[in-house]
Amino acid sequence: MVIKTRESENVVIFDIEGEIRRSDAAQTTLHSLVKAQLDRGRRNVLLDLGGVEFIDSFGVGEILASYISTQNLGGKFKLCRISKKLLLIFQITMLHKVLEIHEDCDRALESFEKA
């Protein structure tokens, strides 16, 4: 998994590529990267999952933990560009009813301004 961080206006965007899964290698987790941005005062988080090929239960947990941490601080947490396969996982776990999911990132960024 490769995660690049960028900012647009008042939104921190995480561009994620590869697989979000538990790894034996000691690597930084998605949740720890989100928490680091929250600790810096950033409260609007967008995950661009357009490059994600696979997610396991650990990855789903990382996304959910990131959502909860953001919500607990009064922030907004959204997803964009998820594949049909990932959307199916979110539907099976009913997380599509909890997480705000957008087809494209531009619309997701606009939605931060409206709320």
Tens-place pLDDT, residues 50-75: 999 899 999 999 999 999 999 999 99
**pTM for the full predicted model:** 0.93
CATH of the domain at 42: 3.30.750.24
**Residue 105: closest CA among 13, 7, 16:** 13
Domain that holds residue 84: 2-114
For position 107, what pLDDT does the model report?
95
Q: Which two tokens stand for residue 5?
A: 């961080």
b/e sequence 2-25, b meaning 16+ C-beta within 10 Å:
ebeeeeeeebbbbbbeeebeeeee
Contact predicate 63/99, CB 8 Å: yes
Residue 26 has pLDDT above 70, yes or no: no
User: What span, in angstroms and rounded, lies between the C-alpha atoms of 43 and 84?
Assistant: 28
**Residue 49: closest CA among 60, 39, 38:** 60
For position 1, what pLDDT does the model report?
87
Domain count for the chain, please give it.
Answer: 1
Percent of the chain with pLDDT over 70: 96
Of the listed ranges 7-21, 25-39, 42-56, the one predicted with least confidence: 25-39
CA atoms within 13 A on the CB side of 32: 4
CA 34 and chain centroid, separation: 8
Question: What is the DSSP annotation of 13-53?
Answer: EEEEEEEE---SS----HHHHHHHHHHTT--EEEEEEEEEE
Residue with tokens 């705000």: 100
pLDDT in tens, 68-104: 999 999 999 999 999 999 999 999 999 999 999 999 9
